[in-house]
Each structure stands twice: as C-alpha cells, then as structure tokens.
Structure 1
Amino acid sequence: MVTALTASILFTGTANAEDHSAADKAQPKLVVAISVDQFSADLFSEYRSSFTGGLKRLANGVVFPAGYQSHAATETCPGHSTIMTGVHSGRAGIIANNWIDLSIKRDDKTVYCAEDERIDGTSFGDITAATQGDYVASVWHLLVPTLGDRLKKVSPESRNVAVAGKDRAALMMGGHDVDEIYWWKGKGFSTLQGRKISPSVASLNETIAAKIDKARPAFAIPAQCVAHSARIMHGEDKSVGDYAFQRPDGAASIYRGSPDFDGSVITAATVLLNDLKLGQGKATDVISIGLSATDYIGHAFGTEGLEMCIQMGELDRSLGEFFTILDSKNIDYVVMLTADHGGLDLPERMSLQGVPTAQRIDPKLNANAIGETVAEALNIASDKPLLYADGPFGDYYISRDLSEKQRAQVKDSAMALLAAHAQVEAVLDHDDLATIEVPRGSPEMWTLPQRARASFHPDRSGDFIVLLRKGVTPIASTARGYVATHGSPWDYDRRVPILFWRDGIQHFEQPLSVMTVDIAPTLSALIGVDIPTDETDGQCLDIDGGPANSCK
C-alpha cells in the first residue's frame, strides 16, 4: 500500500478507543467523487465565508486548501486524468486537451484527448462549435486504470458510474470499465457509442429539451454579489461583469455557461443514484461527477465578476440539495471534491485592479507565424507548415516532411525565436524533459521543467514546449466569446481545493500542500482497494486518523 501522510482526523461520537477503531475500519458504501471545473483554490478561499449549503458542509470536513494539479498543462483533460488514477497526467498519457499526431492518416492532425481517431471518417473538428466536432468519444488515450476500474476488478458487483458536463471529465474520471456513463452533448446527455441511453436519462433529456429553449429570467443577485457587479469592457464594444444569466427564447446555446447547467448534471447524477440504487448493495459503489459550469462561466465572463459570484452561490445550493438526497438514502457515503485546474481573470479587469502583468497574448505568437519566420530565415520552401500546435502555448511539433538536418535547424531557430519573445517564460526541449526524473516533494517548489515533466509523455508531447509568463492570457481576441482562460504552469492555474466529508468526521484543515494524485490512493485505502506503490505518483492522506489510520 502507499505511504501515509497523517492529517490526524478524528471521528466524533465514539465511546472508547475500541469503538473508535471499529468506526474507522468501516468501508463506505458509496464514494462520491466531484470535480468542479476551474474551481481554483482562490475561488474557494474568496467565497468560503458565504457558503451555506453543500460547500459549507465540505468546508467543515477535511480541508486541504493548498491542493495542486501539479503539472504545467493545467487544462480540463489532464486535470481530470489525475483525480481518480493517482498518477500525473503525463504518465496517464493525457498531455493536454488536444495534441498533434502527424502520423495519423486523416487530414486533421489534431487529436482530442477523449476521442478515438483510429475510427475512419472522424475528425476532431471544433469542439467549441455546436456540433462539438465529428469524433467518437472514447477513453482509449487514458493509459492507466481509475479507482473505479480497480474496484471493479476486485469487486465485480460494485458499480462504477460517471456523469459530467464534458465527455473528457466523465471519461477520465470514470475510466475503462464503467457501468453507466453520461455527458452533456447538444441539448441532453449522451453516452458511449454502441450503448443505449437508459429510459430514466432519456426521460430527463426530454424534460431538459422542453425547457432549454425557453426564456429564463435573471437570477436574483445575492447581497454578497452586489459589490461584484461592475461592467468591464473588452474588445471594441463588449462587456462582462453585470450579467445575471437571463436568457431570451431560443438561447439554448448559452445554457452551458449558466448555473442551470450544473443543476442538470446533478439531476442526472440523482437519476443514476436512484436507478442503480448506488450505495445500497453489499459492495461499495463509485460515482464520479464532473460539474462544468464554473469553467464555462470563467471563460465567458472571468473569475471576479457578478457572474462568478452568482455561480458560486448556486453551486453551493445545488450541492447542498444533492447531499440532502444522499442523506435521505441512509447510506454510508464519502464525498471528495476538487478541481481539474484553476483560472485567471480577464486582463482588462486585472489591469483596472492594478495588476501590471495582465495582458492578452501577441497575435503573432503562434505556430504558423513563427514557422513562416523560420522558413524565411532558413530559406526552406514548403507548401505545408513547418510547425504545428494547438495554440500559442504548450506543445509544438515540427513537420515530418523535412530532412533530419532541416528539422534540427527548425527546432533550434524556432526555440530561440520563441524564447526571445517578451511574453514567453521558457521553451523546453523534448529531449531534455525526457531525462528529468518525475518530481516528488512539495509541488509549489517544483521548477518549471519539473512542472512540465509531470504532464510530459515521450510519445505524445511536442518537440518542444512553450510556457508563457505570468499574467499572459493566451487569447488574442475575444471575438469568439471567451475572455479568460487557464493552462499555465503558474499557481493560479495549479492550486485547487481538495475536500473530504463523511458523516462523523471532525473538521480538520491541513495547510501544507498536497496533490490531486493523492486522492485515488486516499479513497482506495478507505474502500480496501490496493494500489501498488509503483503504480501511483501520490500518497494516502489519512482522513480518518485515530487508532485505525485509514492509510494502514
């Protein structure tokens, strides 16, 4: 078993040490693993005093306020790949949301982390578009098992269930062996190709479809949110900061970017809870829940405006209602809540708040522009790009149509050109990263190469990796509706809360840093599933404490 990091958490209400030990050893019947997309440690700290519902309950449980998605590629897919596997995203094979594979036969060389590009006729397309791309959702890129996968091997009668607002959240947390799995697509929940949607989920889809296009009045503005209501201009004539999620008729396309979206995912989780009678059988069950609205709202409106303030209150309320439903089942359940990454507010608001580093990225800082400059400097004539990348930062790939000598020249020239750019903090060579040991110890102390190493995979990562400076928002224009984002190696994107709650646990707060890779070893020890030490990058956190340490 993995080693223990003791948090000295005590159960209450035990008459003596013998009773206490018995309580500690009891395995919960249901594990509820929740990821709130883009729920940074900063957001948790900022709004913690205002929580009255589910987040208040969790904040009164076992709290690790300095949790870390320790890797550099702080995006949705890599972050979710760490939570239920106990390994860094590079080891999991999930280096980013998207990467480039120049060897695949299709014209579209961009690979989405949760697709199976081996299927003929598919392409990644534009996942932000209404069609969400023409791809087949799949978990095959995930190279390691999840907690649910491991549980099913030792306890086949256990159920492993996942539901989320994004397919990559459901798939990366659920894993390869799932009994039921659903994610939002279009105007309802979808599932794996070849599987049928259950009658109860189909009925829920009909209910959602009947109301999603209808007008919705604005949310009431809570007292604590009034001070957050201030219009911030961005672009030529657009603004954020004072919107309360009112929707006109026919505005289903903006449903995901509202608190109602998380409500639908929680309702779907409740449907699955009831249908499968999770936690009510002889074996322990697992349900993974991915709540995505905070991420969509953070992208569309930033992290510090009225919109996010309303979302935090609604998230707290929705989780409270869900926990009340769980309470009514009279089952022994444990809840873990964390996030896949943090986020950064839009630079226009940060600039008004006096943040000198806040800026949008130079539109010329991209693979095409850099590649053209390099081609001209090296006198390389080509009708295809020299460099490929999914965005201005992260993994860059060099064309395979070049000779080895040309590839080396392009690599040296491009890396030097990028490293000299005022908005670039570091450019890291693939070969150098491959020689670095996977980092251990306190993640806040890791160097940038160590952070990049944690999300590096030798067969999938780029020929070099570009890391931007603090405060640089890698969105040049807000024309597509996104004003803010994440993905950096900096702590505002890496730090997330890690919260545990179970009936009878006494509140404890551990201020020292831990990592999301510690979650799976912690939960596995609680439910009696062995994860060999060499198969995890994390360690067990003792959330029970007392004579019967939960990590033993």
Structure 2
Amino acid sequence: MRPICFASLLLLFSISAKAQTPGAGNVARPKLVVGIMIDQMRWDYLYRFNDRFTPGGFKRLIGQGFSCESTFIPYTPTYTAVGHTCVYTGSVPAITGIVGNNWYLRGSKRNMYCTDDSTVVGVGTTSSAGKMSPKNLWTSTITDELRLATNFRSKTIGIALKDRGAILPAGHAANAAYWFDNATGGWITSSYYMKDLPEWVKNFNNRKLADQYMANDWNTLFPIESYRQSTSDVKPYEGKLLGGDNSFPHETSKVTNNKYEAFRTTPGGNSITFDMAKAAIDNEKMGQGTSTDFLAVSFSSTDYIGHTFGPNSIEIEDCYLRYDKELAAFLTYLDQKIGKGQYLLFLTADHAPLEWRYDLN
C-alpha cells in the first residue's frame, strides 16, 4: 500500500498542547479523536484539484497539520476492508485475519464476507445487511486499545455507508457502529452492539435525508467547461449511475428503482455521512467527558463514484471539490463544538485506484 498515507496523507491535524512535565496526570490529551478515511482517495488529488480547494478544508490540514508523506505498510491486496483494518490496527492481513473484502474458507468450502456474522441480527432493518460484526477481525484496533486504556470510559463509534468501513475501524469494544441500509435509506446497526437504535438515530432516519439529497439533481459545482483536471464528460467506457446515464447533469430526482443503492454513487453519500457524524457527536456528547472519545468516519461515496466513472472523470473532480467544502464546514463545526486545539483529527485513505487503461490509449 503506497499511501495513501499521503493521500492518506496521513494528514494529522493535531491538538496544540504545551510541553508538560512527564507524568500521566500532566499529559494533555484531546477530548476527541476523529479518524477520517476517504475510500479510494489518491494522494495526487490533493495537488490536481488544489487550485479550487477552499482555505478551510484540505489546505487547512496541509498548512496547519502534519503530513506523513513517506509512510509505507507493505501488504496486499489493497481492498477496502484490508486498508481500513491496516490503518486502525497497524498490522497486516496475515495477522489481522482480514485478507480481503471476501475470501474462501477451504474447510467449509464457502465464501466469507469480511464482516458477516450469522449469530447476530440487524437493528433498524429486517434485511441481511444488518447481520454484521467485527468477529472475523483477529486483532485489536486503536479504538479497542483506547477503550481498554480508559477502563471503557471512552466512547468509540464507527460510521460509514459501507458496513466494513464502520465496523472494522470501530473495533471489538465499540459502543456502536452504524452503516447505511439500501432497503430503508436509513442508518442501521446489529445486535452485536445494541438491541434497539437510539432515539436520536431513529429521529435522524425519520428526516429521510437520502431522499432530500436525491431530489436535487447532481450538476457540477462550477461551469463544466472549467474542469481542466479531468477528461471529457461523456466516455463510452464509463459506468452509469443506477437509473441514469454517464453524463452531467445526473438526474437523481428521476431515479426510482434501487434509489438508495444509486444514492451511494453521488456526493450526497458524503453529505449524509458528515450529517451522521455531527449527529453522533451532538447526541452522544462525544468530547464532553473526562476521557478521550474516538469517532471513526469513513466516506464511501468517493469509492463508488471512482469505480463507476474513473479517477480522471469530471465526476471525481466535482466530488472532491464538494468534499473539500464539506470538510471545511466540518472542521469549523469541531472548532465550535469541541474547541480549537481540543481535538485530534487524522485523514487518510484505505487504497487508491489505478489509471483506467482506456484513458491511456
């Protein structure tokens, strides 16, 4: 994995703590750690799209934070589940047990999905999408170690559209992990974590934000002719949005079949993830206690858009320009809610895409 730990950057936007005399009681600790994973982000996006990034988003992290530009963790394959697990455990597939998104069990002669768990049931859904847990993960995560170090006083929560993007970073001892359900258009979890959704999650789901985002067609943020870092809008080898086509404007308001599955492949998927992250911080009072809390947030729509349209598409460029604005707003929210200098945020990626060979021909 060549990171993406720059695209990962591993961008660390850290607390500004004064030097302290050694001793556990004197160590300045953040009230909240926010781990941001951008699914399928390449490090070069930070430079390709930099001219139109806002001062408060990626540029703020680069300018005020610390970037790990030569960080390598040697492993293969670089799938979503493996990348998330690698970052949050600091280990490799042979040790974590997460060797792919799926793998084959020779003993039982069947395929295994990384977070499948037949012993649990969905909470907030009746679909099989809820039958998930971290039981296939063999090692502890940084989030687990935080819970252990604070005698479980810290709260840890994982959030992502993809179940694996929420569950694996949150670890075994998480208070909760929430992921998006294609059947209901809401956030769900499993009985591994709880018997019923918290009232705030039910209220959040009742707002039907996915429907609201889909009601607004996806057009480019800027005039389409100004997207100089991308190839042409219409390419025969691009995929199509479910229920739509492969060119702007993407008329998401007209999508009826598999609407919530199509929603994942729009910038609205990132927006609702930011919304859910803020709702978790507000309602779970994260960063308000005496111990450091940890929110692990993964943004999955960047991956869906990348797989469908490619790394040189206008859709990807527009997605990251929009993401940058929302990232800036999220950092401002954290400044106000938790306090400047009171939280630690890192931003990384789980893997990156290769160039599409059609773009090279």
- TM-score bracket, shorter-length normalisation: 0.7 to 0.9
Q: Does 1:146 align with 2:149?
A: no
CA shift, 1:143, in A, is: 0.6
- Map 1:310-459 to 2 at 5 A: 310-331=318-339, 332-351=342-361
Q: Which residue identity is paired with 1:183?
A: W
CA gap 1:50/1:20 in 2 versus in 1, 3 angstroms: farther
> Does the CA contact (< 8 Å) of 1:148 and 1:160 recur in 2?
yes
CA gap 1:305/1:22 in 2 versus in 1, 3 angstroms: farther
> Does the CA contact (< 8 Å) of 1:71 and 1:88 recur in 2?
yes
CA shift, 1:147, in A, is: 1.2
RMSD: 3.2
Query: Corresponding residue for 2:62?
Result: 59
| SS of equivalent residue, structure 2 residue 196 | coil
Measured in 2, the distance between the counterparts of 1:12 and 1:146 equals 22
- Map 1:78-477 to 2 at 5 A: 78-104=82-108, 109-117=110-118, 119=119, 136-155=131-150, 156-186=152-182, 187-193=185-191, 194-208=194-208, 211-212=211-212, 215-222=215-222, 224-225=226-227, 228=230, 229-234=232-237, 242-249=247-254, 250=256, 251-331=259-339, 332-351=342-361
Measured in 2, the distance between the counterparts of 1:51 and 1:272 equals 27
Measured in 2, the distance between the counterparts of 1:27 and 1:120 equals 35
CA shift, 1:140, in A, is: 0.5
| SS of equivalent residue, structure 1 residue 326 | helix
> Does the CA contact (< 8 Å) of 1:231 and 1:240 recur in 2?
no
Measured in 2, the distance between the counterparts of 1:272 and 1:236 equals 34
| SS of equivalent residue, structure 1 residue 233 | coil
Q: Which residue identity is paired with 1:85?
A: T
Identity of paired residues, percent? 27
Q: Which residue identity is paired with 1:63?
A: S
Task: Point out where structure 2 has 5 or more consecutive residues left out of the alignment.
Answer: 1-11
Q: Which residue identity is paired with 2:112?
A: V
Q: Please say which structure displays the higher CA radius of gyration.
A: 1
> Does the CA contact (< 8 Å) of 1:213 and 1:252 recur in 2?
no
> Does the CA contact (< 8 Å) of 2:40 and 2:302 recur in 1?
yes
Task: Point out where structure 1 has 5 or more consecutive residues left out of the alignment.
Answer: 1-8, 123-130, 352-552
| SS of equivalent residue, structure 1 residue 148 | helix
Query: Corresponding residue for 2:9?
Result: none
Query: Corresponding residue for 2:77?
Result: 73
CA gap 1:230/1:40 in 2 versus in 1, 3 angstroms: same
Moved over 6 A (4+): 11-14, 235-241
> Does the CA contact (< 8 Å) of 1:244 and 1:310 recur in 2?
no
Measured in 1, the distance between the counterparts of 2:240 and 2:333 equals 45
Q: 2:41 aligns with which of 39, 42, 53?
A: 39
Measured in 2, the distance between the counterparts of 1:26 and 1:236 equals 49
CA shift, 1:80, in A, is: 0.5
CA shift, 1:310, in A, is: 0.6
| SS of equivalent residue, structure 1 residue 78 | helix
CA gap 1:244/1:35 in 2 versus in 1, 3 angstroms: farther
Q: Which residue identity is paired with 1:58?
A: L
Measured in 2, the distance between the counterparts of 1:349 and 1:278 equals 45
1:210-239: CA deviation from partner (whole Å, max 9, x where unpaired): 725853223334265256243211289999
> Does the CA contact (< 8 Å) of 1:41 and 1:65 recur in 2?
no
Measured in 2, the distance between the counterparts of 1:236 and 1:22 equals 57
> Does the CA contact (< 8 Å) of 2:121 and 2:190 recur in 1?
no
Measured in 1, the distance between the counterparts of 2:240 and 2:78 equals 30
Measured in 2, the distance between the counterparts of 1:348 and 1:104 equals 40
CA shift, 1:81, in A, is: 0.4
CA gap 1:134/1:316 in 2 versus in 1, 3 angstroms: closer
TM-score (structure 1 length as normaliser) = 0.54
Measured in 2, the distance between the counterparts of 1:134 and 1:268 equals 19
CA shift, 1:346, in A, is: 2.9
> Does the CA contact (< 8 Å) of 2:210 and 2:263 recur in 1?
no
